[in-house]
Structure 1
Amino acid sequence: MRYTKLLLFFIFLLFIKQQTVLASELDSAFIEHFAKDYLTRQFPSTGDEKIRISVARLDPRIVIKPCNTPLIAKTPKKNNARTINVKISCSDSVPWKIYLSAKIEITKAVLIAKRTISQGDRLDESNIELAYIPINHIRGDKLTDTKFVFGAKAKRRIGQGKTIRKNLICLICKGDIVTIIASSKNFSIKTRGIALSSGNINEQIRVKNSRSNKIITPRVKAINQVIIHL
């Protein structure tokens, strides 16, 4: 009975020793996950941006030595490239380091055409939507808020999947009949006019007053509405 207890005790000690050894052993999957977790903290996603991180697989021929101290991950201080190198190091008495390559893809939420939009078409929920696009594929002014876009007209054809940019649309387009609002602290009056140039919300455009034939430069207030402060 005593012999059996001693045998079980030694087996228990052996089991503990093996667990400790295994805890200090590392494999390629752990290193890759460690690098990705580090990059995820360095490049967090935001409300209008998403970050996609992919870490390259380690060469299976690389032998990863045990490490009894916490691993350290670092990236270059100045780095704007989409491909980045991550250094994983161990500061044991016999230190070692491994470099992994990773790709960082940043996508931004922008409005795109659901389908092809013809010149003169009004923009609404039927033909535009919010989508995440790689920032290196985005050109020009990026529009993200539907309240500044819904009701605007396309100046020219916009292909399916293309981003909606300011220079492609006009809330008021040249030739549109508009309501002119002349406003002051004490009163406001309305009259009609013809847009002589195109513009979007809060932009100044040239308008001809239909009653006086004068040319004024009010700001775009809404669809077919301009305002001038007296």
Structure 2
Amino acid sequence: MGIRSFYLVGGLLKRLLAVAGVVFLTLQPSQANPARQDLGDLQQQVKIFLQDHYRQQDVERVDITVGNLDPRLVLAACTQPLTMTLNDPSNSGGNLTVQTRCEATQSWSIYVPAQVSLFRPLAVASRPLMRGDVISERDIQIDVVNVSQLRQGYLARRESIIGQELQRPMNTGEAFRGSILEAPLVIKRGDAVHIEMQAGTIAVNSTGIAMANGRIGQRIRVRNSQSERIVSAEVVSAGKVRTSI
């Protein structure tokens, strides 16, 4: 074989070896490109987890939006079911995160953002109301409201609202909250009041003069008209107080 032929064969052999090497590499993706966690599937699993959690609450409807993950995020495909933890002790939804963990050999943990809107039937104002209004049946209607946008302390039952006095104005459709309601003023300072004095199972009735304004459930000072003694008594209704002796 001549020198020219030798170099031709040698060059051909090198090219064949190079091609064989490429084929060998492409046949072993587990080394070059390990399997990755599908981010879309991860988001879907988080949504299902949140749906299952909030459907156990007393809600009319649940709307869930799972935030997008950075497409550059690379996570190893998890060979075990994902573990998820939610930090929402009040179960009120809103903006939150779900800690999502893979506890396989190639473990990882990330926080997935989500927006949860919970809708419940609530008592809302049926018309504009003014401060000092005493709430009646006609002032209330029941609407399905996104409670995730409300502060805590909203009221659902008409019975806990009717007869209460409003501490600030309200707009139509606004939810009633305990913090803006107060028992109405039923006794004014200087009013004559009926005093019911409890001694065990025995009740003794008397009369007196209120020394302060009083709302139902409050305690005020009352001067007994017969004994001139000043006592602390609980307001139970308009013109009536109760105390123990």
- Residues 142 and 56 of structure 1: CA distance in aligned 2, closer, same or farther (over 3 Å): closer
Question: What is the number of residues matched between the two proteins?
Answer: 200
- Residues 211 and 73 of structure 1: CA distance in aligned 2, closer, same or farther (over 3 Å): same
RMSD (Å), alpha carbons: 4.9
- For residue 126 of structure 1, give the secondary structure of its aligned residue in structure 2: helix
Alignment correspondent of 2:182: 169
Once the two structures are TM-superposed, the CA of residue 134 in structure 1 deviates from its matched residue by 3.4
The question of 1:87 aligning with 2:100 is answered yes
Paired AA for residue 196 in structure 2: I
Where does the alignment leave 5 or more consecutive residues of structure 2 unmatched?
A: 1-36
Paired AA for residue 164 in structure 2: A
The question of 1:73 aligning with 2:88 is answered no
- Residues 108 and 197 of structure 1: CA distance in aligned 2, closer, same or farther (over 3 Å): farther
Distance in structure 2 (CA, Å) of the matches to 1:63 and 1:168:
53
The question of 1:133 aligning with 2:151 is answered no
The question of 1:197 aligning with 2:217 is answered no
- Residues 211 and 179 of structure 1: CA distance in aligned 2, closer, same or farther (over 3 Å): same
Alignment correspondent of 1:221: 236
1:11-60, Cα deviation, whole Å (9 max, x unpaired)? xxxxxxxxxxxxxxx86654323112223455675459997643124567
TM-score, normalization by structure 1: 0.56
Once the two structures are TM-superposed, the CA of residue 72 in structure 1 deviates from its matched residue by 1.0
2:196 pairs with one of 164, 181, 193: 181
TM-score, normalization by structure 2: 0.54
1:54 pairs with one of 47, 50, 65: 65
The question of 1:35 aligning with 2:46 is answered yes
- For residue 217 of structure 1, give the secondary structure of its aligned residue in structure 2: strand
Report sequence identity in percent. 20
Deviates more, 1:157-166 or 1:96-105: 96-105
Distance in structure 1 (CA, Å) of the matches to 2:230 and 2:238:
20
Distance in structure 2 (CA, Å) of the matches to 1:182 and 1:94:
74
Alignment correspondent of 1:14: none
8 Å Cα contact 1:108/1:135 also seen in 2: no
- Residues 120 and 99 of structure 1: CA distance in aligned 2, closer, same or farther (over 3 Å): closer
Paired AA for residue 134 in structure 1: S
Distance in structure 2 (CA, Å) of the matches to 1:198 and 1:49:
39
Paired AA for residue 196 in structure 1: A
1:73-113, Cα deviation, whole Å (9 max, x unpaired)? 3348899994314425373x777777632235578887653
Paired AA for residue 48 in structure 2: D
Distance in structure 1 (CA, Å) of the matches to 2:163 and 2:88:
43
